[in-house]
Structure 1
Amino acid sequence: MTTRLLNHWLWFPKVSLKRLNNTKSYINLGTEMKLLNDKKQFEKALAIFDQHGINNITTLSNFAITEVLKACAHMRDIQRGKIIHNLIASETKNDIYVSSTLIHMYVHCGDMASAQSLLDSTKTKTPSMYGIMMKGYIKNKQANKANDLFNEIENPNDVNMILLFNACAQLKTKEALDLVKKTSKEIPKSFYSNPRLLTSLLDALMKCGDVAHAESLFYSSKQKVLPMYGAMMKGYVDNNLPEKSINLFNEIENPDDVNVTILFNACAQSKTKEALDLVKKTSKQIPKSFYSNPRLLTSLLDALMKCGDVAHAESLFYISKQKVLPMYGAMMKGYVDNNLPEKAIDLFNEIENPNDVNMILLFNACAQLKTKEALDLVKKTSKQIPKSFYSNPHLLTSLLDALMKCGDVAHAESLFYSSKQKVLSSYGAMMKGYVDNNLLEKAIDLFNEIENPNDANVTILFNACAQLKTKEALDLVKKTSKQIPKSFYSNPHLLTSLLDALMKCGDAAHAESLFYSSKHKVLPMYGAMMKGYVDNNLPEKAIDLFNEIENPDDVNMIILFNACAQLKTKEALDLVKKTSKQIPKSFYSNPHLLTSLLDALMKCG
């Protein structure tokens, strides 16, 4: 077997076994390879192994073997690694160090099946072997397998615990949360002195949604390190609690670049004037060295854009010497969010080798423009991008959306039906495109092709039915509303579109029943009901419902004025005048509100 494998190892130079006087000592060989590995000169390490060690591999020390396997792992040379494995299998199958290095080599090269097979065949399994495997599964988005492996370990160490928490953080399920809590109660108290373990535990609790437990653990900890603050801050952002993230940042004496990055993310989520002021203040106070961190710079640009300060973001972007693709992405997204699609397109044209995210943002900008020129750019770009980009479902969805919004339904259909892997968001883009292009029956037909529609698909179906306003559409709305999971009703967008569909199809009674049985009523739901009353010639009901709203928005005000315009009475006129004096001045910047107010005043005489 050894001879046959060596004969097929074509790229290894043949060294005559008879010239042993030219062969380095096996101890020196291992030491030399280690020195090269430490300097990250892995190719040189493999070269001296090829020259002096391959023909004597069965007599090399395990130390030398581990070093060559490390070099194979870093070079991702799995073929060479497998040959070495076959050559040394019988001599080293019981050596835990060589076995661990082999497992690491397979994991590092992405061959989890071979790594698992080797672990299974190893008699003496160590916590470090399990750790290598768990880390590999987490990296390959197979967190459940990492958890299964953890349950096999008799005496897990703190590293195994950390990896378990990382796996649970990736899963973000109730079962994962239960496992985190259970494990955190069972581990030795000494483990809690490990800041890395504590950080990963906080991260897992936050990612699984148990903010209260994470806070309790964090504030009871005596020694808080910066990564722990980071885990908490990021958890607050992920759980849509940006104010808490900002408050925690203010408790840190000397924040690092990661803490500052998360602060900017929190401010970007807040999108307030106060958040913008904090971003500007912090950006002036941080060390200049932080600006060499492209992630920090990207999050700063994103925060400025999301808080509406386009000019400041542009100034910072263009003075930056080293611009990375995520920075271009933050700027492009900011332009789209601030309704400046032309600027997003111009910036895209400055990028030499755009990635799939840049492409997605370009398509979003074109979708916002809805012009012939935008459509031409979408078609041109879609022909030029690498085929591998089409495996990104987000890109495909944004491309379909752009084609639909620019009015090329036929092209979108051709692309959609030629796609092998259709995801729910792609169905959503097509359905919404059909609705936007007044092809409602097509939207409904496509919905019926979906096996397990999500809440977004159902929402668009209701929008299509609302636009149809037929008895058949009403029947479909009622039928679908009975079949969807109860959890969907916690989505206010879906509930609003359902109320709108029922109202537009003329079933005010059903809409009222659903509305008043809902525990969490948001302003768009009030708006859907009020508009429905106006459409069904029930303006008094619209006015009565308006009076139930604590803090109406400009849309609610517009519908109130429309209801009063429909009534044309002195009481309606008095209400219009009274309300127009009470509304915030900022509402008057909405031309639709001003138009509906003028209409109401005129219609009421």
Structure 2
Amino acid sequence: MLIGRMKPLSLLRRRSSRISASNTEPHPSLVEAYHGTHLHLDPRLLSINPIKSPPISPRFSESIASNRPNSSNSFLSLLHSCTDVLALGKIHGLLIVRGLTQNLQLQTKLIGSYGTFGKLECARMVFDSIPDPDLYSGKVMLKWYIMNERYMEAIGFYTCMRQRLQEQDNIVFSLVLKACVKLLDLDEGKKLHCHITKVGNPDCFVLNVLIDMYAKCGDMECARRLFDEIQERNVVSWTSIIAGYVQNDYAEEGFVLFNKMRWACVEPNEYTIGSLLTACSALDSLHQGKWIHGYMIKDGMGVDSFLGTPLLNMYVKCGEVTDARSIFDELCDADAVPWTAMIVGYTQMGYPVEALKLFSDEKWTGIVPNSVTLASALSASAQLKDLNLGRVLHMLGIKLGLDEYAAVMNALVDMYAKCCAILEANYIFERTSPKDVVTWNAMIAGYSQNDLGYEALIFFNQMRSDGCLPDAITVVFDEMRDRNTVTWCAMMGGYGMQGDSIGSIDLLRKMLKEDLQPNDVTFTSILSTCSHTGMVDEGQKYFDTMSKHYDIVPSMKHYACMVDMLARSGKVEEALEFIERMPMQADISVWGAFLHGCRLHSRLEFGEVAVKKMMELQPETPDYYVLMSNLYASDGRWDEAFKIREVMKEKGLIKLPGCSSIGMDNGLHSFALKDMFHRHGNTSPNFKVFSEHMVQ
């Protein structure tokens, strides 16, 4: 059994998370040294974290004591051989005591040493203490901001550099541009571009980074303009613009540029190939993907982890699972990315057993699954309708802390729903926040698959009220393998309820293309949609088609839809003529639809005809008499309204007032509008009691 081979608990034996306490106490030697020089600095800037550092090597301490460094060269040698931050603190203290803090070379080396240990506050303190820093010391400080991923501070430091230093070079520009790329900060990138243009003479490397910055920030127009201005483009220039187009969903333009790149006799590198493989995946272009794979083999590019993953993804997206598995098996040092990609591929292409075998293979127990991996495994168990396996995976997700991820929660809803555990699916659904389109789709599909159509419709309406478009539910509908007339009609009705006549009619056309015969319910949905959206000509066409081409005899519902369509659009006379031409006597629903249109367009003379017909069909129903009386009253015909009320009295017809009910104290209590007393003889006011009960 697959469950026995999975061994989910073995996946939990991983490296423990790194937790380190911070110690912000200033290093004693630095505090003492600075106090001796009468420098007024914030002691917090001198803080060293001894917990992260090993104790000072005895040999290193002996070296400091025996050599008694005095010259700058001696200190440079000590800084170069320093291997821990505590020793660095001692050296810094000695520099201060020996009065060497004004030596620019030593201070620059000290900045680099602090940067090596990630102590950027101390490094910045050293830089700020230099009275006349040069460009090199500024570049060292900037480099360590970038190396430690402190990108916001890097941009801020660049502003400081411009104030203190008169010149900047291309290395500085490239470092700051990298920070803009990492932050996706287009505004700062544009400001820097302006400064680069003002300074002049940017080299090809800076221009390439600018192209990359604009592309990654989504401004392909500026990226392309800059690319076209470069006179001597190298492989990095071409790769940057190609990757930019692919990343911004212009994969076809990426291939156009690749062809131009070949015409320019520029050979692609592995980064170019990786971008092109991603483009093939986006375009589902297996032919081009295989051509690129052949180029890789011809050029001697190995299938390593860098190119192996996009190549594997390309074959998966193009449906070639066997080729994808061959690539996966070639990867010697495969990590979580290709492993997950292969599991996703198996699941998406309908190979759930293979997906779960790979997921539970002991060879990969050293890799911790991520949320995408677990979601794919849950999807595979859903395809197998294996509830026990799904629950094991659910427990694994809880132990790995992945059960709160959106992808996993959506997969859990889908798995429980497909395994007929609808209560558990609903429990996960209610816990999911915020709910995206996939969450709603999974729950609606689950109700539909479990023959709970009413609940599915309720969820569909709730989804719409939460702001999801009708197209969202099409995702579920399109994935259904056994679509029949009932499911098509349900979809049409859903679109119709939302007033999307175009979507509803488009579904009918797709249904006919699948050689499915529409039934009377199909045309009821279509006619109702056309009625509510005012598409009279389309509705008339489908009404004629149902009898001429599909031999469906129109029922009273179809006639009522047509009358409603004509009257609602203001064609009251045509609606009345249509009723008179009906092959059977119109019932209450037809005349009610006609009356609704008359009231919408204030055609009271036709409304009077409708009400009289309704009174003839159901003479003992008081509602129609009241309706007729109200109709006369709205037109100022008070005598006629009074006569109708008299007729009601003669016939003993009483219109019961509308009321509401509330369950309280094991009983049902009713009350009407402005009703302040109990309707069953109790004269005590009940409004306060009802209000208190509702609050409870």
- Per the normalisation by structure 1, the TM-score is 0.61
The one of 528, 548, 551 equivalent to 1:538 is 528
- Give the counterpart of 1:295 among 290, 298, 306: 306
Residues 412 and 425 of structure 2 are in contact (CA less than 8 Å); yes or no, is this contact kept in structure 1?
yes
Q: Give, in angstroms, the shift of residue 86 of structure 1.
A: 3.2
Higher normalized contact order (CA 8 Å, seq sep 6+, divided by chain length): 2
State the secondary structure of the residue aligned to 1:151: helix
Quote the sequence identity (%): 17
Q: 2:207 aligns with which of 179, 198, 204?
A: 198
Report Cα offsets for 1:59-83 as digits up to 9, x if no partner: 15444544554555xx6x3344334
Output aligned runs, 1:495-534, within 5 Å. 506=497, 508=499
Contact 1:529/1:542 (CA < 8 Å) preserved in 2?
A: no
The reply on whether 1:167 has 2:182 as its aligned counterpart is no
Q: Secondary structure at the match of 1:93?
A: coil
2:358 aligns with 347
1:304 is the counterpart of 2:315: yes
Q: Which amino acid aligns with 2:60?
A: D
**Partners in 2 of 1:83 and 1:103 — Cα distance?**
15
| Residue number in structure 1 paired with 2:270 | 257
CA shift, 1:277, in A, is 3.4
State yes or no: 1:266 paired with 2:244: no
| 2:276 equivalent to 1:284 | no
Q: How does 1:113-132 map to 2 (within 5 A)?
A: 113-132=121-140
> Matched residues in 1 for 2:508 and 2:57: separation?
72
TM-superposed CA distance for 1:140, in Å, is 5.0
C-alpha root-mean-square deviation of aligned residues, in Å?
A: 5.0
Q: 1:221 aligns with which of 226, 230, 237?
A: 230
- Equivalent residue in structure 1 for 2:170, among 158, 162, 174: 158
Q: 1:59 aligns to what SS in structure 2? A: coil
Decide whether aligned partners of structure 1 residues 303 and 527 sit closer, same or farther in structure 2, where only a CA change above 3 A counts.
same
Deviations 1:300-345, CA, capped at 9 Å, x for gaps: 1122222221111212222444434433233223223434343232
Matches of 2:194 and 2:508, distance apart in 1: 45
Instruction: Tell me: CA distance 1:376–1:414, structure 2 relative to 1, closer, same or farther (3 Å).
Output: closer
Match of 2:176, SS state, is helix
Number of residue pairs the alignment of both structures matches: 451
Match of 2:610 in 1: none
1:162-219 CA-to-partner distances (Å, cap 9, x unmatched) read 0121122223244234324423422322x32xx3212211111211222232223223
1:143 correspondence with 2:143: no
Q: 1:309 to 1:505 in 2, by over 3 A?
A: closer
Counterpart mapping for 1:409-424 below 5 A? none
1:524 and 1:140 map into 2 onto residues whose CA distance is: 55
Instruction: Determine whether 1:568 maps to 2:546.
Output: yes
Change in 2 beyond 3 A, CA 1:164/1:402: same
**Mapped partners of 1:208, 1:359: distance in 2:** 27
Q: Return the index of the structure with the highest Cα Rg.
A: 2
Q: Secondary structure in 1 aligned to 2:118?
A: coil
Looking at structure 2, the residues matched to 106 and 206 of structure 1 have their Cα atoms a distance apart, in angstroms, of 34
Whether 1:361 aligns to 2:339 is no
CA shift at 1:111, angstroms?
3.2
**How has the CA–CA distance of structure 1 residues 397 and 4 changed in structure 2, closer, same or farther, with 3 Å as cutoff?**
same
Gaps of 5+ in 2: 1-26, 31-52, 447-454, 477-490, 512-521, 553-696
Q: For residue 288 of structure 2, what is the amino acid of its counterpart?
A: A
Note the C-alpha offset of 1:541: 7.3
Q: Tell me which of 178, 186, 202 is aligned to 2:190.
A: 178
- Matched residue of 1:568: which SS? helix
SS of equivalent residue, structure 2 residue 334: coil
Summarize the Cα distance change of 1:203–1:438 in structure 2 as closer, same or farther, 3 Å threshold.
closer
Structure 1's unaligned 5+ residue stretches are 7-42, 418-425, 441-462, 482-488, 516-522, 549-559, 575-605
Q: Which residue of 2 aligns with 1:275?
A: 288
- The reply on whether 1:50 has 2:60 as its aligned counterpart is yes
Contact 1:180 1:205 in 2 (8 A): no
**Which of 71, 78, 81 is the matching residue for 2:85?**
78
Residues 420-499 of structure 1: matches in 2 within 5 Å? Answer: 427-428=433-434, 433=439, 436-437=442-443, 467=459, 469=461
Cα offset, 1:152, TM superposition: 1.9
Determine if contact 2:245/2:254 at 8 Å carries over to the other structure.
yes
Letter in 1 for 2:408: L
Query: Given the alignment, which residue of 385, 391, 409 partners 1:376?
Result: 391
Deviation at 1:544, TM superposition (A): 11
TM-score by length of 2: 0.54
Is the Cα contact below 8 Å between 1:495 and 1:525 reproduced in 2?
no
CA 1:495–1:353: 2 relative to 1, 3 Å: closer
Determine whether 1:402 maps to 2:415: no
| Residue of structure 1 in register with 2:111 after alignment | 103
Contact preservation (8 Å) 2:303, 2:327: no
Aligned to 1:241: 250
SS of the residue corresponding to residue 169 of structure 1 reads: helix
Partners of 1:416 and 1:140 lie apart in 2 by 41
Q: CA deviation at 1:160?
A: 1.0
Change (3 A) 1:314 1:125: same
With over 3 angstroms needed to count, the CA separation of the structure-2 counterparts of 1:217 and 1:166, relative to structure 1, is: same
- How far residue 47 of structure 1 moved from its aligned partner, in angstroms, is 6.6
